[in-house]
């Protein structure tokens, strides 16, 4: 079988230095920022509702499932399994934040840097195309 190799915009992020536990995200996807904005709204809505509800074990399980589904949908890939495994993403970590908060506070700056890098390359390419087109006029 032949193999075709090309840059498809996917970047890999090893979690906590473990290169066997990797998240893959297509940071060149021009729809990603829109989906992340939608995700932020969904998460805020879910967590806002949870603050007014009684958080029983069943409610926490349901919220964990819904949050993970929303995150995976936004990224177009399963990033929650490598990030959280079977742990409820609302579980607290040593500093009192949830593992969900801890993960995204580390992950978002890294992915933002890669998204901005791709956006810069796209802008440069677009400027080159416009310049070339203007020469033919």
Per-block average pLDDT, block size 10, for the chain (137 residues)?
93 95 93 93 88 79 95 96 96 93 94 86 69 64
pLDDT at 48: 85
Q: Cβ neighbours of residue 63 under 8 Å, at least 6 residues apart?
A: 46, 47, 50, 55, 90
CA distance 23 to 82: 7
pLDDT at 34: 92
């Amino acid at each position: 079988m032949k193999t075709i190799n090309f840059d498809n915009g996917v970047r890999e992020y090893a979690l906590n230095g473990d290169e066997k536990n990797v998240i893959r995200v297509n940071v060149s996807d021009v729809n990603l920022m829109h989906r992340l904005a939608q995700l932020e709204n969904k998460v805020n809505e879910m967590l806002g509702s949870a603050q007014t509800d009684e958080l029983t074990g069943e409610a926490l399980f349901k919220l964990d499932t819904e949050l993970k589904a929303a995150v995976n949908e936004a990224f177009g890939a399963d990033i929650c399994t490598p990030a959280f495994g079977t742990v409820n993403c609302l579980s607290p970590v040593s500093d009192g934040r949830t593992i969900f908060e801890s993960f995204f506070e580390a992950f978002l700056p890294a992915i933002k840097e890669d998204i901005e890098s791709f956006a810069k390359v796209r802008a440069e390419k677009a400027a080159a195309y416009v310049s070339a087109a203007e020469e033919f006029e």
